[in-house]
């Protein structure tokens, strides 16, 4: 005669089996989630993902999945739920497979991809525009024109400025590709303010920066900068035209008339920046000077020099200074002989 097992025992076994199955399902799910999160995935070639400000985690995960950066947007959502971090907007660059965890960590850190832009001493707004374009920045599209809209950045320093020329400090910058003209200008003017504070530039800012820009363009030799500044100061005191080619060239650039080489006819072309035709300083800076030129403009050497042959044009590698027209004529003659000799080599 067979005996039936107590119902309570069968119920217990069924309950245990269901529990075990649930554990196995959870373990499988956890294993799958771990695989999605911890196994490297992604492109082997350079891929960019732009995360717009205010994007939700769901939207970010979808963008990353669509771009082939992560396997699953749901795994990314899970990481966000676990970490509770704040994701930062910007452009991110991926060029090799990484884990979803690393992708999440980079975005939480704000490890955005930036482009390097080197602005050398003596660069003007046209040069900066070219460099921004070369770096692939949005701000390079029409920088030379658009920067004029940001003059409020220097209103306290130079109320008569109509451009940021002279105040876009030469340095190495890193910008996101989507950086705007306003953002680029703000960064560069901020560096100018830091430099000005460093050397104590507070007064006559417009004049100092204008003179410094001319000094910057006329010589690359630091030791000569105070001497060149003294020539400009002495000529201004004598009400003599400065007769500086860089200013003439800048006037031509503003009018789109610069041909890459200065001709005799250019010296007769009437622009506000033609310092052969007009006495006094040009209307404003013609380039963006570095610290040595700013210091020289603030503290010119005490000389009687009224003339010089610029070092940049002299194969001997140094400027030639003179107090009289006769001395200057001899320097010019010597310069021409040196140029001829250099051409015969």
Summarize pLDDT for 106-134 with one digit per residue, the tens.
999 999 999 999 999 999 999 999 999 99
Does domain 47-109 sit in CATH 3.30.1490.480? yes
Q: How far is CA 264 from the centre of its chain?
A: 36
| Token output for 130 | 């070219």
Which parts of the chain have pLDDT scores under 70?
Answer: 1-38, 311-317, 342-345
**The pLDDT value given to residue 43:** 83
pLDDT in tens, 130-159: 999 999 999 999 999 999 999 999 999 999
pLDDT in tens, 280-291: 999 999 999 999
Q: DSSP letters of 191-222?
A: HHHHHHHHHT--SSHHHHHHHHHHHHHH---G
DSSP 5: P
For residues 66 and 17, what is the distance between their CA atoms, to the nearest angstrom? 40
Hunting for tokens 């050398």 — which residue is that?
Answer: 120
In 3D, which of 281, 154, 306, 143 has the Cα closest to residue 211?
Answer: 281
Query: Within the chain, which residue ranges are assigned CATH 3.30.1490.480?
Result: 47-109
Identify the three-state secondary structure at position 74.
helix
Does domain 115-199 sit in CATH 3.40.50? no
Identify the three-state secondary structure at position 289.
coil
């Amino acid at each position: 005669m067979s005996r039936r097992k107590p119902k309570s025992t069968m119920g217990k076994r069924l309950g245990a089996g269901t529990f075990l199955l649930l554990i196995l399902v959870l373990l499988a799910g956890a294993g799958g989630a771990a695989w999605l999160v911890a196994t490297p995935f992604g492109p082997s070639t350079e891929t960019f993902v732009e995360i717009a400000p205010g994007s939700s985690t769901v939207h970010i995960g979808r963008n990353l999945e669509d771009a082939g950066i992560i396997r699953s947007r749901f795994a990314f959502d899970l990481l966000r739920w676990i970490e509770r971090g704040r994701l930062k907007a910007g452009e991110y660059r991926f060029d090799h497979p990484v884990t979803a965890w690393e992708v999440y960590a980079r975005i939480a850190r704000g490890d955005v991809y930036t482009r390097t832009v080197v602005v050398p001493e003596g660069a003007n707004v046209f040069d900066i525009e070219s460099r921004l374009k070369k770096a692939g920045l949005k701000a390079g599209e029409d920088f030379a024109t658009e920067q004029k809209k940001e003059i409020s950045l220097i209103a306290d320093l130079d109320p008569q400025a109509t451009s940021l020329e002279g105040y876009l400090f030469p340095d190495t910058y890193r910008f996101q590709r989507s950086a705007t003209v306003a953002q680029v200008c703000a960064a560069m003017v901020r560096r100018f303010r830091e430099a000005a504070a460093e050397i104590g530039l507070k007064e006559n800012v417009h004049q100092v920066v204008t003179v410094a820009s001319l000094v910057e363009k006329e010589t690359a030799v630091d030791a000569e900068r105070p001497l060149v500044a003294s020539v400009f100061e002495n000529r201004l005191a004598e009400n003599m035209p400065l007769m500086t080619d860089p200013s003439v060239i800048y006037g031509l650039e503003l009018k789109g008339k610069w041909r890459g080489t200065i001709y005799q006819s250019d010296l007769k072309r009437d622009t506000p920046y033609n310092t052969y035709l007009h006495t006094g300083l040009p209307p404003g800076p013609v380039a963006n000077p570095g610290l040595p030129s700013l210091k020289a403009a603030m503290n010119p050497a005490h000389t009687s020099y009224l003339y010089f042959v610029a070092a940049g044009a002299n194969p001997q590698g140094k400027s030639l200074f003179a107090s009289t027209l006769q001395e200057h004529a001899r320097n010019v003659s010597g310069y021409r002989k040196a140029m001829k000799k250099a051409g015969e080599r």
